[in-house]
Structure 1
Amino acid sequence: MAKADAWGAPGGTAFARRETRGDGLAGNTRLIAEPAYRRLLAAEPLLRRSIPVLIITFLIVIAALRVLSLMNERDDVERNAKAILTLAAGQLASSLPTTSETVPGAIQDLLETTSRQGAMGRSHVLVITDSAFKIVAVTPRSMPWQGHSLDGLVEGGQPLFMFGDRAGVMDVNIDGRDWYAAVSLANGGKGASAALVPQDAVFDAWRKTVSLNVTLFVLTAGVLIVILYAYFGQAARAQAADRIYIEAHQRIDMALVRGRCGLWDWDMVRGKMYWSRSMYDMLGYKPCETMLSFGEVDQIIHPEDGDLFELANRIVAREIDHIDQVFRMRHSDGQWVWMRARAQVIDPEAPEIQLIGIAVDVTEQRHLALRSEAADLRLRTAIENINESFVLWDSTQRLIMCNSKYQQDNGLSDRDVMPGTARAALEERMLAFASERRLAHTSGLQGGATFERQLADGRWLQGNELKTRDGCIGSVGS
């Protein structure tokens, strides 16, 4: 079949604007997804490579930001804890001269008052010592320390006892635990005050925050990894589905091409029609995957074979829900191709009517039927014009055909010789004959017979019957 461009077809310029596409998208999928799907296909390899990198980068950035945030938070907690210790030790030291001289037991009250301040916690320890750093008062949490030398309990804190406030807050060790300690010397060297807190108590809330952040990060990373796995799994399945779809579509196209038929998918609401590739091949046009309009298809349908718009209006009006019609369509070389279209509405109750079916090229069958009709007409004319009477019975002894000479000899009307009439019934309607005798069949063929009849008008009729291979019986009388 010629692959001529539709510019060469009369009135077929609507098809000339279409081009063949060769990408992996086929059928109605392109009609729905274009042009977004085409851009997605072009970007998909880059996206597949970049998504793991983006997810890993995202996790690294989130982890780095949270680490920096937690480290800053730890520094703030440490700074606040040291500031509280410095203030507490300084307040106790400044209150020592007046309090110790005025009210007995006021030192213990001072410790309790200071420890109840909002910034102090139950883990904080406040200590008051004499000039030799012997503990004379301590908060209830560390009562066993009372009477002991503070510099003997504290390891690594010698600068505190030498310089007091100027040494700041130092990391010390008490009974194998790390503490923060601040010491303030009273004026005149009459005593000293100290504020201490265990480091694990200072960072307890911070460690819980770290645990929560680590848990959330692990969960986030796990969810993203699962999503990444699901994405690649879905992408692989989508590729397999696309491949299977394309292979199935190619097989269907091949079957349609070999069967000389094409698929129609008619969207009645939007006035668009989809043709399979085989439909274009049958008509010689370049295949395309875009929808055809009613007008474009109607241009190549023979005007004497029906109106596509009228047919569409009947379907939309719910007058019919299927079509079975034979019409001619213009080939790209200008010739007419006979098509038989059969289609059915997918869902008659749906608000949007969708008609799907096939169109079969019946040009050869049409020409064969015309040739058979012409041959049958010539045969009947020849039989009618012979001088002998002729009749043909089928294998069940029913009339197939006869000529007018047979009717005249037997006195039969046109109504009597309707095809399908039983032979016995027809012989009853014949004119009575004077006599009949059987003769030896000279040809010797099995199933043949020869007879002579004398008609009522005195004429003699000789008939020869022959049986065909399919069981029919032909009789010639002269």
Structure 2
Amino acid sequence: MWERPTVNGKLRAHAGTQRAFTAAQQTGFVGLGGFSLIERPAIERLLKKSIPLLIIAFLISVAAARGLSLMSSHERMEDAVRQATELTSAMALASLEDEPRLFDPASATETAQELNALVAAGSDTDLVVIDTTGVVLAATGASASLTGRPLAAVFPELTSARPSRSSGGVVETHINGVPYQVSMHLAGSDGGMVIALHSMQAMNALWRAEINLNVTLFAAMALLLLVVVYAYYAQLNRADHTAELMLENEARRDGMLANGETGLWSFDPQTGLTFLDGSAALALGLGSTPRQLDHKQMLALIHPDDRRGFFRRFAPADTGLIEASLRIRQHDGRYTRIDIRAHAGQTDGRIAVSGTAIRTASASRREVETATKRASLYQAAFDAMPQALALWGKDGRLELANASFAAAYGVDGSARRDSLVADDAVVVRRICGEDAVSSEVRTPAGHWQAVSESRLPDGALLTVGSDITAFKSDECRLQGEQARLREKVAALAAARRRLELKCAALNRALGRDIPVRYDQEGELSSERASRTAGTIIRRTVA
């Protein structure tokens, strides 16, 4: 009636909750109970698996956003440099175009002074004035060393310079391998020219520094996220492991309480005696009366494998709690698992240990799962064998069979060996030995099996069958060939007998003709006649 068993026949676990929930369902109330329809474990597993993907997507989006921002910043900086170069060139042209004498080669000093007055201190833009003959008349800043050199020798790249897309008056070129933004303007009609040069090295260095800073911050953020994810999954694994242990302990505790075999015990370290009440003695299989055991008697009841590390296992924790699990020998010689929960304390200056002893009603879930996995592994290996294996009980009923046996004979677990041999198989040859019986069996499917039967010590019968269909096919073919050869030999023997009869008749005929020939050929010598006759006889016989 109830989902949980009773505890000592008095209490029912979760009875009120189950009854209330059933009543709510019967009245049609859904409320928050609708959330139970959602498969929370599946959603949690999906979220857990998607966390790394979400983090990778987040890092990709951040990297893409920062990359686009850096590219946009680079374009804005280039546009600002072009505008500053164009503005500087326009200001210099407006100041110098009204004074044509400044483009005369004789006024180089005055032109240099005017250019230095126009250029701001610390500016990356240099001004260069080309006189009417095509020679650098004056220059400022780092371009001052170009004074006196021809325009074609100083700026050979200007012939291949390409105009910028955003500003038609500024071109991009390289001078001595250094990128420059160049703005050129003609002054007057005599061939004078004002050129503004802006080096891109400082801007590129600033942009590279910004890229390095962003890459460093991105790497640090990615590393921090990886550490957080690792810590999260480590904590999650610990939480899952703890939850699994708690569920296992809860299941074991429920089984123990449902069984009802629980008792109290105490231990006196001074005397080394263990006191058991009636319930504890009954749980240990020592009867229903209280018992008192000394140290040797207690150790004699413990399994030999559990004796190793016995005192270390019973060492109390910081809170004084003692939890252990032991295998105790019963009166019938079998061992049962007992869970010990106790607390160590001091009473009047003396150490006292007391607690409960609970007999485990069922095996541990982990042990059951391990045994199930091992049995599944053995079953898979058993089914994977090509031989037809079967185990028969004492009564002849099929106990265990692999996939090859089931496919060969088409039987189920309720088959009996005698019915299989009598109805579903044809035994062709049987050889009995000392420990095993070998036979050749034809299955209902038409296949041939070489079956070896061995009797086990407990009376069960183990049969191992190997497929010999190909061997039987070759045997049938050879038997057919043997029959055909036997027929040919018989036909040849009959032909030989007929030939022998003909030879005998011919012999008799030749024997009557010999005297007539001797009379007709009397002139021949007797020696030649006898030799000729002997030759004829030998040939006839042969």
**With CA pairs under 8 Å and 6+ residues apart, which has the higher RCO, 1 or 2?**
1
Higher helix share: 2
> How does the TM-score come out when normalised to structure 2?
0.39
> How does the TM-score come out when normalised to structure 1?
0.44
